[in-house]
Amino acid sequence: MGGINKALIEIGGITVIKRTLAIIEPLFGEIIAAGWPSGDPLPSSVIAVQDNYPGIGPLAGIEAALRASRTQALFVFGGDMPWLSADIIKKQADYYLKNPSDILVARSDGLPEPLHSIYGKAIHQALVRYIEEGGSPAIIDFYKFTDTRFFELPQTEETRRALTNINRPSDLKS
């Protein structure tokens, strides 16, 4: 969609970032926006961090957020996911707390969603090493170096919407 900051797209008169914050602010005490373009407006409650390894996509954002975080784990999601579900996030976080792992990835119909996942801060050094040694920028390729587990989501309308991201204008109608 032309390299625009998709979090600033309006859907029904509300930006994606405002929709997202309404869902996640009650759930988490720390919210980090990795790779947020300087100059784009961002609510003061959100910590903006720049990628330490530009050009490798979301993996760099995960690394930067883990480096900046004061918490032991992060719920990582795509900034272009306008219909996150508080209920799904709560269930995933509860599962993570009861079944600790390095990474807990949401998965529906056999398809993992790396940008609806919980990443433990303990993986940070392994992630830095992986990046610096030239590892693939595909997030799922990093999983084999960690204790990664999957949080199975049912194939429902709520799941479909929650995992939808904006790639083309037609996605705004989901």
pLDDT bin (cut points 50, 70, 90) of residue 4 is: confident
Helices and strands in the chain, H and E counts: 6, 8
Across 114-124, b (16+ Cβ under 10 Å) vs e yields: bbbbbbbbebb
**Does the structure show a pLDDT above 90 at 154?**
yes
Per residue in 70-93, pLDDT (tens digit) is 999 999 999 899 999 999 999 999
Q: Which domains does the chain have, with CATH numbers?
A: 6-173 (3.90.550.10)
Cα(70)–Cα(50) distance, integer angstroms: 16
Supply the pTM of this predicted model.
Answer: 0.93
> Which whole number is the average pLDDT over 146-174?
87
What pLDDT score was predicted for residue 6? 82
pLDDT bin (cut points 50, 70, 90) of residue 41 is: confident
Per residue in 98-116, pLDDT (tens digit) is 999 999 999 999 999 999 9
DSSP string, 19-45: HHHHHHTTT-S--EEETPPTTS---TT
